[in-house]
A and B are shown apart, each in its own frame.
Chain A
């Protein structure tokens, strides 16, 4: 009597075998997966951190960018100048009395040819130098600050310097910078004013 009675309802419970997943369910899941992938591709932005709603992807964001003002060189030049040059020459190009000559209105900066002025940040300069009727001694001289830049960057800085604060000199191209660099890969010391004056104003 203490034998377990056979429960008839146990037979209807789910068994532990491997039931076949119906084919239509697999098909439905594949279709849902595909639709999800297409939706993600169109709207997910592919995890690009620049894409925020309501933009759906970077291609769409690119189409809504502001029209280029054609001033990319000046933007880059201003940024590099303010980060590296402005400590001595000031953000407004006025320089420091007796130490760093002004760039705004300087006859060296405003020369029509750019050959000499490329040499100054590329190889450094030691004073004294006469700018706008004043003599600047420049302490230990100016280090070759521009040697670290790519030709594009140095050209951008020089173009910014030559066109900001009322300066009106022609832009400097990366090719002109590369030409100076190919002629003279290094210079043992900073340039002096006399050496600079021996250089032609325009590239030979």
Chain B
């Protein structure tokens, strides 16, 4: 080879540059991430998973749940809402201020609007518009807030209230982000479906709870056994075709309970510096148990 050392040096330079950029720098930035204090609730976030949930992560991994479920909520933008929380003592001055902050509301029935608090004065605006409106909302004892509202398709589906960032995965190993979404995203499943019985029944018979679900049934995580002297407290309450024969009960194996503990621990609902939001928590999901149908 004519320029062997030169070719070697060039290749070495290229590879070491990419190593610095793709391995060393991210490790220096994110490798030392620790718990953060949530400024709103003063709780520490994230929390290490309790033992059962920690074992459940291995069940999740062993069953390849991440082949169909991602654990990363995306966000395409952020907007602000200006929300009135208290109209104050002088309602005439308050109505004037609101009309000034949002001229489109000038013709609306502001007395009605001020009765139903909190009331949105401006929706889906950028930060500077919101700040300008806040400057105009000045009346005696009047109170208004700027709400930070993350937006995006994932958030519109109700999969989370903000995008996921590296901080959310501090205690995960391996991080099972997933790359396909055959099923819904699970980054916040613990907040969306906090009912352990729903989760267990859903693992046993996904189609029983979600019509048209393509998820396979995980019945091998359950055992059908004769009811002993005392029925198991963990036995599933099933009716119809799914119900076991008389005198038998369907009991989740330890793996199923661990997996559900892991699923319930998936909850990235805390505001962080890198992912701020003030959107309220959605209403708790319905129990939706098979027995109720």
Residues of A within 8 A of B (CB): 47, 49-55, 61, 63-69, 71-72, 74-76, 78-79, 82
On chain B, which size bracket covers the interface? Answer: 20 to 34
Asked if A54 and B77 sit within 8 Å, CB to CB, the answer is: yes
Asked if B148 and A54 sit within 8 Å, CB to CB, the answer is: no
Chain B residues with CB below 8 A from A67, complex form? 145-146
Q: Select which of B37, B40, B77 is within 8 A of A66 by beta carbon.
A: B40
Q: Select which of A64, A66, A75 is within 8 A of B42 by beta carbon.
A: A75
A65-B276, A67-B146 given; 14 more Cβ-contact pairs under 8 Å: A49-B26, A50-B274, A54-B76, A61-B276, A64-B80, A64-B127, A66-B271, A68-B39, A69-B40, A75-B37, A75-B39, A75-B42, A79-B42, A79-B44
Q: Which 6 A-B residue pairs are closest in the complex by CB-CB distance?
A: A49-B29, A50-B274, A54-B77, A63-B127, A75-B42, A78-B42
Q: A50-B273, A52-B163, A54-B77 are in contact. Are A66 and B29 (CB under 8 A)?
A: no
A-B interface contact total, Cβ < 8 Å: 57
Asked if A55 and B78 sit within 8 Å, CB to CB, the answer is: yes
Q: Select which of B44, B75, B165 is within 8 A of A54 by beta carbon.
A: B75
Asked if B148 and A47 sit within 8 Å, CB to CB, the answer is: no
Asked if B30 and A79 sit within 8 Å, CB to CB, the answer is: no
Q: Select which of B37, B163, B165, B276 is within 8 A of A64 by beta carbon.
A: B276
Q: A63-B127, A64-B78, A65-B273 are in contact. Are A79 and B40 (CB under 8 A)?
A: no
Chain B residues with CB below 8 A from A79, complex form? 37, 42, 44
Chain A residues with CB below 8 A from B165, complex form? 52
Whole-angstrom distance between the Cβ of A50 and the nearest chain B Cβ: 4
Interface of chain A: mostly helix, strand, loop or mixed? loop
Chain A residues with CB below 8 A from B145, complex form? 67
Asked if B273 and A49 sit within 8 Å, CB to CB, the answer is: no
Asked if B78 and A71 sit within 8 Å, CB to CB, the answer is: no
Chain B residues with CB below 8 A from A65, complex form? 273, 276
Asked if B276 and A69 sit within 8 Å, CB to CB, the answer is: no
Q: Select which of B44, B152, B275 is within 8 A of A52 by beta carbon.
A: B275
Whole-angstrom distance between the Cβ of B171 and the nearest chain A Cβ: 17
Chain A residues with CB below 8 A from B30, complex form? 49
Asked if A47 and B25 sit within 8 Å, CB to CB, the answer is: yes
Q: Enumerate 26 A-B pairs (CB-CB under 8 Å) in ascending A order.
A: A47-B29, A49-B30, A49-B166, A50-B274, A51-B274, A52-B163, A52-B165, A52-B275, A53-B75, A54-B76, A54-B152, A61-B274, A61-B276, A64-B148, A66-B39, A66-B271, A67-B146, A68-B39, A69-B40, A71-B39, A71-B42, A72-B39, A74-B42, A75-B39, A78-B37, A82-B44
Residues of B within 8 A of A (CB): 25-26, 29-30, 37, 39-40, 42, 44, 75-78, 80, 127, 145-146, 148, 152, 163, 165-166, 271, 273-276, 278
Chain A residues with CB below 8 A from B274, complex form? 50-52, 55, 61
Asked if B39 and A54 sit within 8 Å, CB to CB, the answer is: no
Most buried by B among A54, A64, A82: A64
Chain B residues with CB below 8 A from A63, complex form? 127
Chain B residues with CB below 8 A from A74, complex form? 42
Q: Kindly state the separation between the CA atoms of A38 and B110 in the bound complex, as whole angstroms.
A: 46
Closest to B21 in A: A47
Chain B residues with CB below 8 A from A69, complex form? 39-40
Q: Kindly state the separation between the CA atoms of A68 and B278 in the bound complex, as whole angstroms.
A: 12
Q: Kindly state the separation between the CA atoms of A55 and B165 in the bound complex, as whole angstroms.
A: 12
Q: Kindly state the separation between the CA atoms of A189 and B25 in the bound complex, as whole angstroms.
A: 48
Closest to A66 in B: B276
Q: Kindly state the separation between the CA atoms of A53 and B149 in the bound complex, as whole angstroms.
A: 15
Whole-angstrom distance between the Cβ of A86 and the nearest chain B Cβ: 12
Chain A residues with CB below 8 A from B148, complex form? 64, 66
Chain B residues with CB below 8 A from A82, complex form? 44
Closest to B149 in A: A64
Q: Kindly state the separation between the CA atoms of A63 and B37 in the bound complex, as whole angstroms.
A: 20
Most buried by B among A67, A68, A72, A82: A67
Chain B residues with CB below 8 A from A68, complex form? 39
Q: Kindly state the separation between the CA atoms of A194 and B239 in the bound complex, as whole angstroms.
A: 72
Chain A residues with CB below 8 A from B166, complex form? 49
Q: Kindly state the separation between the CA atoms of A53 and B76 in the bound complex, as whole angstroms.
A: 7
Closest to B148 in A: A64
